[in-house]
Amino acid sequence: MIPPKEVENLLKTFRSHNLDHRVLIEDLAPFVQAQRAENLQKKQFIQLPHIDVLGAFYTHSEINEYLNSLPERFPKRVQLKQFGWSYERRPLKVLTITNGDGKRDKPVIVIDGTVHAREWISPSMALYIIQQLLDNYSENQELLEDYNWVIMPVVNADGYEYSHTESRYWRKTRRPTSNPECVGTDINRNFGYEWGHDEGSSSDPCEDNYRGERTFDQPESQVLRDVLLNYKGRLNFYLSLHSYGNKFLLPWGYTSVFPDRYQDMMSVADAGAKAIVHSTNGIYSWGSTYYVLYPTSGDTADFALGVVNATVAMTMELPAAGFMGFDPWVSHIERLVTESWVGVRAMAAEVIRTYAA
């Protein structure tokens, strides 16, 4: 993963810290090419707008084609809105799922995916949740009785497309920066709550956690901000899907201090972790982002709690697979999303039980 011109500097760093190392793979390109070929081959048998979530990874345009088909299939239960455009003018769409009773102003569960481009299991998980709520409605109708679900499968559309076509491990957006050599901003450091801390983000456009020149200077973060603010006063559960790490990450990311509702949020995460371990023996860690992962500033969950006043706000780091953790094979999708759904469902049920409409 190191550019050839940087290898000698890296080795000097290893030596200066007395760090042993070994090369696991000489060239990652054939691995990525094989995954891409497998994915394209699997999609040959799928007729859009139908998709088989477990059968392939889908591009942003393919996901949108599927989303566009849902209001016709479920006219009383689905609403699709476009909240804006990406920098490269890709439409950013948000799906609302209800039980069709027509009641207005229900509390909502908001779920987003693909804030980071390379985390392909994130949109797969969002699509799987959609299918559970729509195609398996009879099994999950209690989750929709008093709550609406608002799901945005792809936030970082440009970066996600770029990871499909050019650079598999791309993380950021594709908007140019002040440095012509370095493109993109980390959406999850660009939100306007405690933005700009050097502990938890970077002011360097070449870093993967570059926070941008100012808050919300990315059209994609503006769209997600507007989605969250649209439900202020009704947002009882905000969940951002990431990979990887088997973690439920709660606010705050910017400080070691715990928020007022920390124990309430811990109870929700605890329900998800227990459900997963009982179902698959999957082990999750949960707690403050600052402690469980590392410091972050300007992230979406902190904004959802600190500005939108969500009752519960959380980032879910889905399990790792593939060579780098971000790069599962198609054959891994079913295991990853079915296990993760057990946790998401249990946490949603806990929120619904605790915070009745």
Q: Is 232 in contact with 308 (CB distance < 8 Å)?
A: yes
- Given the structure tokens 């080795």, which residue do they identify? 11
Q: Is 114 in contact with 59 (CB distance < 8 Å)?
A: no
Which two structure tokens, joined as six digits, stand for 158?
């440009």
317, 334, 339, 350: which is the annotated catalytic residue?
Answer: 317
For residues 241 and 245, give the distance between their C-alpha atoms in angstroms, rounded to a whole number.
Answer: 11
Which two structure tokens, joined as six digits, stand for 65?
């084609």
Residue type present at position 194: E
E strand or H helix at 327: none
Residue 182 CA to its chain's centroid (Å) = 23
Known active-site residue 350: no
For residues 146 and 351, give the distance between their C-alpha atoms in angstroms, rounded to a whole number.
Answer: 11
For residues 66 and 68, give the distance between their C-alpha atoms in angstroms, rounded to a whole number.
Answer: 5
Which residues, including other chains, have CB under 8 Å from residue 347's CB and lie 6 or more apart?
Answer: 237, 239, 248, 268, 269, 271, 272, 312, 314
Positions annotated as catalytic residues are: 317
